[in-house]
Chain A
Amino acid sequence: ETGVTQSPTHLIKTRGQQVTLRCSSQSGHNTVSWYQQALGQGPQFIFQYYREEENGRGNFPPRFSGLQFPNYSSELNVNALELDDSALYLCASSFTPDRAQNEKLFFGSGTQLSVL
């Protein structure tokens, strides 16, 4: 158990809909990262939040957006869902004393999103 919890565990949406995924960080962690993992692939970095501000973004379109709250929990929002958005979405938390990226990440169990 990493202490990182994600909800929901599974979700089915139709193309064009919007979805919100949630992540609760491990206690004491101030940084949250989101990853997308397509079947048979390694996770791909979507973005990271450090102390409620975006601190890096991967190669994902603006319809992927996020938030980090004062308690360091986080949301991933995806608008205008496409079939290719079907994937496992992973949240990871860590404690970083500054914006450095060299701290150990702890992952949640993920949300499996299916877009029909």
Chain B
Amino acid sequence: KQEVTQIPAALSVPEGENLVLNCSFTDSAIYNLQWFRQDPGKGLTSLLLIQSSQREQTSGRLNASLDKSSGRSTLYIAASQPGDSATYLCAVIRDTPLVFGKGTRLSVIA
């Protein structure tokens, strides 16, 4: 059974800092990995999707990497801003729909 773990559970950083969020999964036979952002009480906004054949994807200040063999992904956020404050979820997909981690709650302090 696939399990997804995200560390840390919560993170507080000053504005402007670069930061890394971690995601690990137990079954490396995945089709893709997706990073989402969720604001309190709201739905999920897809940030980046990495296909299993890819090693990283970039969008603006976000960069996500994937190491399937070790079952790990990282989300790098450059020059963090208060507007980045949210919960960040990673999810993997294989034969069953997305399996999510519990998320990392990020607070960026102005």
Please report A residues at the B interface, Cβ cutoff 8 Å.
Answer: 2, 6, 33, 35, 40-45, 48, 56, 58, 88, 90, 92, 100-102, 104-110, 112
Range for the number of chain B residues in contact with chain A: 20 to 34
B95 touches A101 (CB 8 A): yes
A residues within 8 A CB of B93?
101-102
B residues within 8 A CB of A33?
97-98
Q: Which residue of A lies closest to B89 (CB)?
A: A42
A residues within 8 A CB of B103?
42
B98 touches A45 (CB 8 A): yes
Q: Beyond A92-B98, A100-B31: 15 further Cβ-contacts under 8 Å?
A: A2-B43, A6-B43, A42-B89, A42-B102, A42-B103, A43-B98, A48-B97, A56-B96, A102-B94, A104-B32, A104-B34, A104-B46, A105-B46, A105-B97, A106-B46
B residues within 8 A CB of A42?
4, 89, 91, 100-103
B42–chain A nearest beta-carbon distance, Å: 6
